[in-house]
A and B are shown apart, each in its own frame.
Chain A
């Protein structure tokens, strides 16, 4: 087992700095990922919160390998990837009613802006048995919901309207933002997946 994990955070646009701060607090080394060749030698990748249409526009930087293709390739080789909010939208194979660009690896259907505009964004207390009994403070910002999942997907947390945390093999998705809270248990859970690989 490696002592120190090296985690990449996609840094095209969004709250990547919050993830990096959390990871460093948990003893990881980190890299901001903007180009495909920066994906080498990482033990895991986090795709942060942000705007999915913006990130899909940016992924093919001028004259470079499209980074979504490169992420797909490393994911198929088993790289653990966790998407928060926007990250979960980009990871989903199906985005309800949309043909926007995506990475499209996880067998779930997401509904974008499922809560409505910012005034409906919410702090919701979540039960996530896989990280322990204590409730987790879920921060949902213009958040998506996961409304369908294949049998291969393990649902890890739900609210009334849909499910909000899911895992499929090396892929993890949360509709909420653990990087915006003091509680670091979901980050620790992702690092445990990265350690297994």
Chain B
């Protein structure tokens, strides 16, 4: 992990140069807006994702639908695979660490990944505490189901938020629920008088300073993507029209019958999300989507979104 130097900024360098600052950590996700971040398990998939127009790739050991199928403990990827992915592509490389597993995150930072996803898709390493993300020089993205969760993660240092959705289902319903919950709560917050924000903060379990910031900005203070169950170009455009800044696609690409074609179509749908003629065109002849499973059919023990709230 990077050291904190005397002027309070993480990293080293001369006096006119700072690294690892909150500005830099929040700026990286801003460059990914309007883009698609794709789950990949090896360098070959990473290359397919980049060629299809992914704005970043997410390295993980197994895609969520396989984690659901195979069970067992899901952990950070083998560092060798992450190194191969970093070498294979020029776009940013993200990688997943288990919730609360700050040593996996330290290893990922050391490997040179551009962003860590502290992810409920992997098995939890700490059921009480998340990683203290403020201690790291690289940004973190975390999942959230509602505004309270999003602001708790931001106060821990998350530089980017994504909906949790229900990963590995190919069912977009939970991502929609989480996006609507976050945007709806922000709209309600904006109707409150300043003195009413304290009880709102208490109700959602979020720090008052972040609640005030959101009320003034009318949005989260960090980039906000959709994730969890996005499987088609129409799903991606739906999330964009609901107001997210971009999308993550996990199992939806490499569990479909023609990953390269579907990936490129989802990238186009995310850019031209308001243009139904283009959406109709790119949605044609993509082969079979991932088979999927409705989120409603999951038993309580199969739900991933309830991890790390």
Contacts and interface: CB of A to CB of B under 8 A. Distances in A.
A117 B31 contact: no
Interface string B1-37: 0100000000101001111110110011011111100
A123 B24 contact: yes
Given A118-B138, A119-B137, A122-B17, 4 more contacts: A13-B271, A53-B90, A121-B28, A122-B18
Contact of A118 (B50, B139, B268): B139
B174 interface: no
Interface string A25-58: 0000000001000000000000001110110011
Interface stretch (B110-118, B127-135, B248-256, B290-298): B110-118
28 contacts: A12-B271, A13-B33, A13-B35, A14-B34, A34-B271, A34-B275, A49-B30, A51-B31, A53-B50, A57-B51, A58-B53, A58-B267, A61-B272, A62-B278, A98-B90, A116-B112, A117-B112, A118-B92, A118-B113, A119-B20, A119-B109, A119-B137, A121-B19, A122-B17, A125-B17, A141-B27, A177-B27, A180-B30
A163 interface: no
B52 interface: yes
A86 B35 CA distance: 14
Interface string A141-169: 11000000000000000000000000000
9 smallest CB-CB distances across A and B, nearest first, come from A57-B53, A118-B114, A125-B16, A117-B112, A13-B34, A51-B55, A62-B281, A13-B35, A15-B30
A119 to B, nearest CB: 5
Given A58-B268, A61-B272, A180-B23, A15 B33 contact: yes
Contact of B31 (A12, A57, A125, A141): A141
A4 to B, nearest CB: 25
B131 to A, nearest CB: 16
B28 A118 contact: yes
Contacts of A125: 16-17
A113 interface: yes
A50 B34 contact: yes
B264 A57 contact: yes
A143 to B, nearest CB: 10
Contacts of B11: 119
Interface string A117-140: 111111111000000000100010
Contacts, number: 131
Contacts of B32: 50-51
Interface of B: 2, 11, 13, 16-21, 23-24, 27-28, 30-35, 50-56, 86, 90-93, 109, 112-115, 137-139, 264, 267-268, 270-272, 275, 278, 281-282
Contacts of A135: 16
Contacts of B267: 54, 57-58
A14 B31 contact: yes
B108 to A, nearest CB: 11
Given A13-B33, A18-B30, A119-B138, A53 B17 contact: no
Most buried by B among A120, A125, A141: A141
**Prevailing SS type, chain A contact patch:** loop
B191 to A, nearest CB: 23
Contacts of A15: 30-31, 33
A57 B112 contact: no
Contacts of A122: 13, 17-19, 24
Contact of B23 (A50, A58, A123): A123
Contacts of B31: 14-15, 49-51, 85-86, 141-142
A98 B137 CA distance: 29
A122 B92 CA distance: 16
B281 A63 contact: yes
Nearest to A181: B23
B171 to A, nearest CB: 26
Contacts of B51: 57
A119 B34 contact: no
B17 A124 contact: yes
Contact of B114 (A62, A86, A117): A117
Nearest to A17: B33
Contacts of A124: 16-17
A57 B52 contact: yes
A112 interface: yes
Contact of A119 (B2, B27, B54, B271): B2
